[in-house]
């Protein structure tokens, strides 16, 4: 079951044109998922990723990435998708919130436990484009999906989430996938403080280990995206979480990839990258 507030009848390409620069990065992520889904023995299959690209009017992916940074980002995006797929289901929690959900289709492609309610929070234009594509493809969610148009920069998003049926008394698994890097430290701290205030003991937060992005050298085709990076809480993300009621574990991305028979391209400045899984203790 899906709830969505948009009724705008505009076609997909027009809807995609309404996306902000940050929101358009969701199309880049969809390209990564479409690429992996098309490979022999993929680590996951997203049956709607290519549909988003087609509907947006942007060029279809015809080959893998070429530059070293692009290859790394694609490989990391693939590992990130698989890691979060696994951890979301392993959490055993029936209340899920995807922050800045973008064009994520986990509500449709994962086998959720009975009774799962999944909230997708993102800007109205993103959810509008996404819903149009999914409706065109006749997609049916595998859980109760609530699409919640809201700006995470507006503190009022928490009130909207509560009004949409979110229960702060139940454990929640939160996913902030590829999000914190687009926020500065103050914004990231404010968002995570809000998440903590809504998290019952036993709740989990999934996100990436931060890093210093000031020295990243953009390649052709990546400058628009990397110019948006603000770094979030950087390498202090674990310390911040542990000081604010969470107990945080770290999974190195290279080790995770090796366990799946994949190898990450070596690019200087990205050593020590990985995923964080934080459990709410208070």
How many Cβ atoms sit within 10 Å of the Cβ of residue 259? Answer: 9
Instruction: Give the DSSP letter string of 60-108.
Output: PP-S---SHHHHHHHHHHHHHHHHHHHHHHHT--SEEEEET-TT--HHH
Could you give the C-alpha distances from 139 to 48, 132, 180, in angstroms and in order? Answer: 9, 10, 29
Distance CA 40, CA 175 (A): 28
CATH of residue 239's domain is 3.40.50.150
What pLDDT shows up at residue 268?
A: 58
Which are the contacts of 60, defined by CB distance < 8 A and separation ≥ 6? 50, 53, 54
Distance CA 102, CA 232 (A): 18
Distance CA 228, CA 77 (A): 17
Mean pLDDT (whole number) for 69-93: 93
Contact 170, 95 (CB under 8 A): yes
Reply yes or no on whether the pLDDT at 14 is more than 90. Answer: no
What pLDDT shows up at residue 62?
A: 55
Q: Which range has the worst mean pLDDT, 17-26, 116-125, 210-219?
A: 210-219
Contact 255, 273 (CB under 8 A): no
Q: Which range has the worst mean pLDDT, 26-30, 68-72, 186-190, 236-240?
A: 68-72
Residues 101-136: pLDDT tens digits? 999 999 999 999 999 999 999 999 999 999 999 999
What is the count of structural domains for the chain?
1
Distance CA 157, CA 142 (A): 25
- pLDDT above 90: percentage of residues in the chain: 69
At residue 8 the predicted structure's pLDDT band, cuts being 50, 70 and 90, is very low
Which are the contacts of 233, defined by CB distance < 8 A and separation ≥ 6? 180, 185, 188, 189, 192, 210, 240
What pLDDT shows up at residue 7?
A: 44
This prediction has a pTM of 0.90
What pLDDT shows up at residue 24?
A: 78
Convert 190-229 into a string of H (helix), E (strand) and C (coil): HHHHHHHHCCCCCCEEEEECCCCCCCCCCCCCCHHHHCCC
Q: Which range has the worst mean pLDDT, 173-182, 216-225, 269-278?
A: 216-225
- How many CA atoms lie within 13 Å of 240's alpha carbon, on the beta-carbon side? 18
Task: Specify which of 19-33, 53-67, 142-156, 267-281 reaches the highest per-range mean pLDDT.
Answer: 142-156
Residues 122-180: pLDDT tens digits? 999 999 999 999 999 999 999 999 999 999 999 999 999 999 999 999 999 999 999 99
Query: Among residues 62, 4, 7, which one has the least CA distance to residue 34?
Result: 62
What pLDDT shows up at residue 174?
A: 98
Mean pLDDT (whole number) for 52-67: 72
Reply yes or no on whether the pLDDT at 269 is more than 80. Answer: no
What pLDDT shows up at residue 10?
A: 44
Q: Which domain holds residue 159?
A: 2-280
Q: Which range has the worst mean pLDDT, 33-37, 60-64, 98-102?
A: 60-64
Reply yes or no on whether the pLDDT at 1 is more than 90. Answer: no
Average pLDDT, the chain: 88
Distance CA 174, CA 157 (A): 14
- How many CA atoms lie within 13 Å of 163's alpha carbon, on the beta-carbon side? 9
What pLDDT shows up at residue 210?
A: 80
Q: Which range has the worst mean pLDDT, 9-13, 43-47, 134-138?
A: 9-13
- pLDDT above 70: percentage of residues in the chain: 83
At residue 72 the predicted structure's pLDDT band, cuts being 50, 70 and 90, is confident
Q: Which residues is 251 bridged to in the sheet? A: 275
């Amino acid at each position: 079951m899906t709830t969505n507030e948009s009724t705008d009848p505009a076609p997909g390409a027009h809807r995609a044109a309404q996306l902000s620069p940050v929101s358009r990065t969701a199309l880049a992520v969809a390209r990564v998922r479409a690429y992996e889904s098309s490979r022999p023995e993929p680590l996951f299959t997203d049956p709607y990723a290519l549909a988003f690209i087609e509907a947006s009017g942007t060029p279809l992916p015809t080959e893998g990435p070429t530059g070293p940074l692009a290859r790394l980002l694609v490989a990391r995006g693939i590992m990130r998708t698989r890691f979060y797929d696994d951890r979301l289901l392993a959490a055993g929690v029936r209340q899920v919130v995807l922050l800045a959900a973008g064009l994520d289709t986990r509500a449709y492609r994962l086998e959720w436990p009975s009774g799962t309610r999944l909230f997708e929070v993102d800007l109205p234009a993103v959810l509008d484009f996404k819903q149009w594509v999914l409706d065109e493809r006749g997609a049916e969610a595998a859980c109760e999906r609530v699409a919640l148009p809201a700006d995470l920069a507006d503190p009022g998003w928490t009130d909207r989430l509560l009004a949409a049926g979110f229960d702060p008394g139940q454990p929640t698994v939160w996913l902030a996938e590829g999000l914190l890097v687009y926020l500065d430290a103050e914004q990231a701290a404010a968002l995570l403080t809000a998440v903590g205030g809504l998290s019952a003991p036993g709740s989990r937060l999934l996100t990436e280990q931060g890093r210093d992005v000031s020295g990243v050298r953009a390649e052709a085709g990546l400058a628009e995206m990397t110019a948006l990076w603000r770094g979030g809480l950087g390498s202090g993300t674990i310390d911040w979480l542990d000081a604010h009621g969470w107990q945080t574990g770290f999974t190195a991305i290279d080790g995770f990839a090796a366990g799946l028979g994949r190898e990450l391209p070596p690019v200087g400045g990205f050593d020590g990258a990985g995923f964080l899984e934080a459990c709410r203790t208070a």
